[in-house]
């Protein structure tokens, strides 16, 4: 598995913690920025990761900003991306098992580094269950997503 990770200035410290965890776990990753605390616009980094995942350059993406919300909104504008904000282990697990989420977003102002690391680990380790969930993911990806 290869992971793209990025943050804005508000998520920089948590991103640094998560990249250290990825390295310790032996997970291949590429840090797409930002590389310091200087103010930047989160959509630039959210789009960069989302487009790289959608293009197949990475299997998954991780985005960090102040809340995780702006990054999720941005990433979900890219076709083929299913980005979720998760600040607890259960949501992280279900986003993978039932929704096949391919981008995880978190907020440095919302979650501490220890829990963030646990959320990321569970999110990376949880496989998509497929089955009845595949039909629903297919609807998300298709023009008929809102049909019942």
Q: Which of 9, 13, 17, 65 is catalytic?
A: 65
Positions of E strands within 93-136: 103-107
Is there a catalytic annotation at residue 133?
Answer: no
Residues near 143 by beta carbon (within 8 Å), at least 6 away in sequence: none
87 part of the active site: no
> Could you give the C-alpha distances from 99 to 10, 76, 131, 140, in angstroms and in order?
27, 13, 11, 9
| Active-site hit among 13, 87, 98, 133 | 98
Structure tokens at 24: 């310790």
pLDDT band at 131 (very low <50, low <70, confident <90, very high): confident
Instruction: Please say if the pLDDT value at position 39 is more than 70.
Output: yes
Q: List pLDDT tens digits, range 41-87.
A: 999 999 999 999 999 999 999 999 999 999 999 999 999 999 999 99
pLDDT in tens, 78-115: 999 999 999 999 999 999 999 999 999 999 999 999 99
Does the pLDDT at position 130 exceed 90?
no
Q: β-pairing, 60-65 with 83-85?
A: unpaired
The domains of the chain, with CATH numbers, are 2-141 (3.40.1400.10)
Neighbours of 43 (CB within 10 A): 17
């Amino acid at each position: 598995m290869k992971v793209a990770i990025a943050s804005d200035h508000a998520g920089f410290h948590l991103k640094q913690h998560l990249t250290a965890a990825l390295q310790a776990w032996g997970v291949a990753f590429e840090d797409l920025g930002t590389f310091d605390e200087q103010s930047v616009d989160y959509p630039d980094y959210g789009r960069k990761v989302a487009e790289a995942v959608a293009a197949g350059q990475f299997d998954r993406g991780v985005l960090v900003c102040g809340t995780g919300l702006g990054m999720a909104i941005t990433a979900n504008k890219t076709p083929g991306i299913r980005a979720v904000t998760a600040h607890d282990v259960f949501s992280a697990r279900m986003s993978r098992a039932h929704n096949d989420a391919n981008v995880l977003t978190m907020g440095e102002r919302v979650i501490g580094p220890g829990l963030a690391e646990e959320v990321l680990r569970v999110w990376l380790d949880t496989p998509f269950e497929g089955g009845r969930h595949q039909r629903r993911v297919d609807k998300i990806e298709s023009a008929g997503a809102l049909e019942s």
